[in-house]
Chains A and B, each alone.
Chain A
Amino acid sequence: MKHAETDGLEVRNITKLYPEFMLDVSFRVNPGEFVTLVGPSGCGKTTTLSLIAGLLEADEGAILLNGVDQQSVPVWKRSIGIVFQDYALFPNMNISKNIGYGLRARKIDKRIIHKRTRELLKLVNLSNYFDRSVSELSGGEKQRIALARALAPEPELLLLDEPLSALDAQLRKSLRKEIRAIQKKLSVTTLYVTHDQEEALSLSDRIIIMNNGRIEQIGTPQEVYTTPASKFAAEFFGRATLLPAVAVSQDDQSCRVNLPDINLQTHFFCRPWTQKQTMFAASPDMQRGLLFFRPEDTAIIDEESIMGETTPGYNTFHGAKVIGYEYSGAGYYIDALWHNCRLSVFSRSFLSEGTNIAILVPASDCCFISENHE
């Protein structure tokens, strides 16, 4: 189905100033899309959500939902469903009353409310819970009821504020699958807030990485994981190697970088930088940055077997030494020291500390992060 350009949620230069914190964000969520706002505690994700919901008022900017400016619309007239971290199920009402609350507020016929409540209970797999009281529910059940309640008035936008953070790890995984399945089934435009990077990667169509009140990067889970836009984005999504680098030249196949901290004549290669037009024309600042790769993209080879040779299409880090490891189940995340730089590599087999290794990384899995990433 084709949507109008104005459909979905558009957050346009929203700012909110606090004494020690300033929020300044712009992004959009397309109709039916599942977008996750992710970042460390205090980065402004929940504030952003509250601004969209209308629970807080922005200092400047506009929030448009399906083309309609929401600034002058009070919370109770916005078509937005919210699921809270603490569920916020009303303890003075039973389950069906909780789910039907939004429909009663809209003065909808009782029979329709009854029917819709039954449908929603079926949707969240709690069909037998119609008359139960809130206190009888477990945490996971409460959150499913909270989701059903938020969806009951068929909102144009669904906001979820760290809905799984109060639950245990096992339940979190199964419930996030369920949330995603329900969201896909109803194709409701959704904005999800979490500080859990794994949750963000597994759930989202797109991810918005926030830090310190600003957006660091917006992209698909694959993009933000393999091509981070900043040091923060690279480090936020797990282990990474980040080496101070200077971009020297670039063609269609690759971008060539030098590592100034290391006294080597060798060049290293990475994926072509997407902003190459501006890169070499602009200030020298744009050429300074970091060489980045993920440990999963590395291969460890025996130093003696390659005798200092290089492999075309690969970056080779000769003479690295294992200085520590962490077992992850699937294998070992190894910290290696190479010319006083720390490299993070992955190995399926165990390597003891002090082992000399060479590390191979395909140039296509390396990328250059400019210091001045804007």
Chain B
Amino acid sequence: MVGAHAIITLPFILRSVLPALQNMRPSYTAASLSLGAGPARTFFSIELPMLKNAVISGAVFAVAISLGEINATLMLAAEQTITIPLLLYRLIGSYNFYAACAVGTLLILLCTGLFSLFEYLRDKL
């Protein structure tokens, strides 16, 4: 199921990271390499920090989609695995509307909280 979520969200991350990667001037990488930093150091000290915003945006999308995802989860999740949308679905299915409302509120709060955290991180990092 984790694999399925990764596959579903991958295009959203690529959409945001690839253009940033293509727009990055090659001279940054060349400069880092010529100064004696190997490919790994160049990636972690230069390329990744420059792609930071794109990576965070991609992550926000990925989390949003993963949190609300139900179709793949319904089909692939093992019996004991319960995600919030799945729980909502089951609660509604058993006419337990009050509990469903509570879980829905929880989902809304969780999403809002995560988005705020990402926005905060984007400014901070």
Contacts and interface: CB of A to CB of B under 8 A. Distances in A.
Interface string A62-73: 000000000000
B113 interface: no
Nearest to A92: B49
Contacts of B33: 55, 74-76
Nearest to B50: A92
A53 B34 contact: yes
A77 B38 CA distance: 8
A130 interface: no
A192 interface: no
Interface residues of A, number: 25
Contacts of B43: none
The interface size bin for chain B is 10 to 19
Mostly, the B contact residues are helix
B35 A102 contact: yes
A91 B42 CA distance: 14
A72 to B, nearest CB: 16
Contacts of B39: 76
A37 to B, nearest CB: 17
Given A102-B36, A149-B35, A53 B46 contact: no
Given A88-B28, A90-B28, A82 B34 contact: yes
A88 B25 contact: yes
B30 A101 contact: no
A82 B28 contact: no
Given A74-B33, A75-B30, A88-B27, 7 more contacts: A53-B34, A55-B34, A78-B34, A82-B34, A84-B31, A90-B28, A105-B36
5 contacts: A76-B35, A78-B34, A84-B31, A91-B50, A101-B45
Interface of B: 25, 27-28, 30-39, 41-42, 45-46, 49-50
